[in-house]
Amino acid sequence: MENLLPHLLVQPESTPLPSGGAGGGHRAARSRSCLVRPSPLSPPEGRGNAPLDLHKLFPNAKEIWLEIGFGSGEHLAAQAKAHPETGFIGCEPFVNGVAGLLSLIDAEKLENIRIHPADARPLLDRLPPASIARAFVLFPDPWPKKRHIGRRFIGPDNLVKLARVLKPGGELRLASDDPTMQAWMQEQMAGSPDFEPAPGLLHTRPAGWPQTRYEEKAVKAGRKPLYFLFRKVSKP
């Protein structure tokens, strides 16, 4: 495997990534920790709180897309392969997911992906305003217990952050196979003044939306994924 560290935006060597997914999982092999050490990207693009220079990260990209919580990376890698002219930033705090995406990057020789292997919220604060053309939050942890509602990613604070970084007319794509989360997403999006349906709720996966193994398993288990397409409101 070639050196894949340039694909990583930031990860302090002293801060180990958690392993597993939304439902937990086995701790990743110690050897995988080598994949998430600091990137050789020129500071401050890869470190600290300075705004990211997206042109330096993607000098030839026509636009930038963002996926938050990319899981094993199948959707992100498929989109990057289908859209080589687009730059992709993927956020994932779990080492197993990061390692999975790095394997796909290596196998497909993808050059247009950069990984933020940590919580997405600090990264959102560092992205320039109106810099992202499309954002994905697909099958996030539903945090079904009432005492954990505040941990759900889709909520007022994060929608404000997403609206800030999305371009006017930029797309926000959501998906969930959990009925509680589906209702929550509809409620949160309906209450946001920054987004409008485009067309909103869909019961079938739109064209150009790659299916992942997680989604396939959900369908086989009898769960019914719902898809949501919204657009950032263009304000005068």
pLDDT value, residue 7: 61
pLDDT value, residue 8: 63
CA pair distance 83, 99, nearest whole angstrom = 22
Q: Radius of gyration over alpha carbons of the chain, in Å?
A: 17
pLDDT digits (tens, 9 = 90+) for 146-188: 898 999 999 999 999 999 999 999 999 999 999 999 999 999 9
Q: For 65, how many CA atoms within 13 A lie in the half-sphere containing its CB?
A: 24
pLDDT value, residue 6: 55
Active site residue 177: no
- Return the axis-axis angle of helices 156-165 and 179-190, rounded to nearest 10°: 60
What does pLDDT average to in each consecutive run of 10 residues of the chain (236 residues)?
A: 52 40 37 37 49 91 97 96 97 91 92 91 94 97 90 96 98 96 97 96 92 91 96 88
Cα 103 to Cα 32, 108, 210, distances in angstroms: 11, 9, 18
Angle, CA of 185, 191 and 195, to the nearest 5°: 80
Give the pTM: 0.84
- Domains in the chain, please, with CATH? 5-11+22-232 (3.40.50.150)
- Return the axis-axis angle of helices 74-82 and 95-108, rounded to nearest 10°: 30
CA pair distance 230, 170, nearest whole angstrom = 8
Among residues 141, 177, 178, 194, the one annotated as catalytic is 141
pLDDT value, residue 26: 36
CA pair distance 175, 227, nearest whole angstrom = 4
